[in-house]
């Protein structure tokens, strides 16, 4: 029995690796039933040295020589995360987070967003701008994200977008949200506590809550939020709308809960 070697070489380095042939065991004396006449043609040339090899040049395959493509071709998914949202793929999403009145772009990676919006009577003259900005924000949400809307005034129970929980931002849900937003009319006073509590008690929990109001509310809400969002899992971004009375409270809430505060006045509207 013999070990049969193969010769191999490393292209471009000129280094040759040769397997060693070794006699493992002498073969037994075997006789064939009939003699076989094996003819070999003699060669006038000297047989090659088994320990030397002459490498032959090889053309580089086209697929290796071609420059690497900078864009993925799978199902139309391109660079910068383009197209990922069409297939429910959050991977590659490197852009800013969801925005409401230009606020929240730094909240990257937010998948669950709740809008807590004031609809008190003092907002009657400018409420249409809030509605349009809210629809704009929802329109830009991606399919892998979920959202919910809660309107509040001074009524005991806030008004929520059915079915009263976070739902995927598909086109059907967005259209239903737009109809819900358009159906809202301002009236009453400003009591946001129940609406904020409801937003923070949702299961699954949101990642981001937008809190917009134009009125002065009970400062006890600051302490209540410390209890409801004690682990700081939810970022709270606050918006003071046309009225700076609650600015110290709103900016303090945003600072304590990992968010940002912005005042929106007449100059910020189209």
Residue-wise pLDDT tens digits, 171-203: 999 999 999 999 999 999 999 999 999 999 999
Banded pLDDT at 9 (limits 50, 70, 90)? low
Cβ atoms of 5 and 20 within 8 Å: the answer is yes
Confirm whether 174 is domain-assigned.
yes
Confirm whether 211 is domain-assigned.
yes
Confirm whether 15 is domain-assigned.
no
Q: What is the pLDDT of residue 179?
A: 98
Confirm whether 28 is domain-assigned.
no
Confirm whether 61 is domain-assigned.
no
pLDDT tens digits, one per residue of 124-146:
999 999 999 999 999 999 999 99
CA distances 65 to 12, 61, 69, Å, are 16, 6, 12
Task: Give Cα 239 distance to the centre of its chain.
Answer: 26
Structural domains in the chain (count): 1
Q: What CA–CA distance (Å, rounded) separates 144 from 155?
A: 33
Confirm whether 164 is domain-assigned.
yes
Quote the strand ranges of the chain, DSSP E.
7-10, 15-18, 112-118, 146-152, 159-160, 167-168, 208-213, 235-241, 261-264
> In terms of residue numbers, what domain contains 246?
95-268
Residue-by-residue DSSP string for 21-40:
P-B-SPPP----SS------
Banded pLDDT at 81 (limits 50, 70, 90)? very low
CA neighbours within 13 Å on the CB side: how many for 194?
A: 12
- Global confidence as pTM: 0.66
**What's 121's domain CATH number?**
3.40.50.410
Q: What is the pLDDT of residue 20?
A: 57
Banded pLDDT at 105 (limits 50, 70, 90)? confident
Q: What is the pLDDT of residue 175?
A: 97
Q: Which residue has the tokens 């302490």?
A: 223
């Amino acid at each position: 029995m013999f070990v049969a070697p193969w010769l191999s070489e490393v292209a471009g380095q000129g280094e040759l690796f040769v397997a060693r042939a070794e006699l493992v065991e002498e073969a037994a004396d075997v006789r064939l039933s009939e003699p076989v006449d094996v003819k070999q043609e003699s060669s006038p040339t000297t047989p090659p040295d088994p320990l030397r090899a002459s490498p032959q040049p090889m053309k580089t395959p086209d697929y290796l020589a071609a420059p690497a493509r900078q864009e993925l071709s799978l199902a139309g998914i391109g660079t910068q995360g383009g197209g990922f949202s069409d297939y429910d793929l959050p991977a590659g999403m490197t852009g800013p987070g969801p925005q409401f009145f230009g606020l929240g772009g730094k909240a990257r990676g937010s998948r669950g967003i709740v809008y807590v919006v004031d609809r008190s009577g003092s907002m009657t003259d400018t409420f249409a701008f809030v509605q349009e900005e809210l629809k704009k924000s929802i329109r830009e949400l991606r399919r892998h994200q979920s959202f919910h809307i809660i309107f509040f005034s001074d009524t005991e129970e806030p008004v929520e977008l059915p079915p009263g929980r976070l739902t995927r931002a598909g086109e059907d849900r967005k259209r239903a949200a737009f109809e819900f937003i358009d159906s809202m009319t301002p009236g009453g006073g400003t009591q946001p506590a129940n609406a904020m509590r409801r937003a923070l008690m949702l299961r699954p929990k949101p990642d981001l809550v937008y809190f917009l109001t134009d009125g002065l509310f009970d400062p006890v809400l600051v302490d209540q939020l410390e209890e409801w969002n004690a682990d700081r899992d939810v970022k709270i971004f606050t918006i003071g709308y046309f009225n700076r009375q609650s600015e110290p409270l709103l900016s303090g809430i945003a600072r304590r809960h990992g968010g940002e505060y912005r005042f929106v006045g007449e100059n910020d509207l189209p």
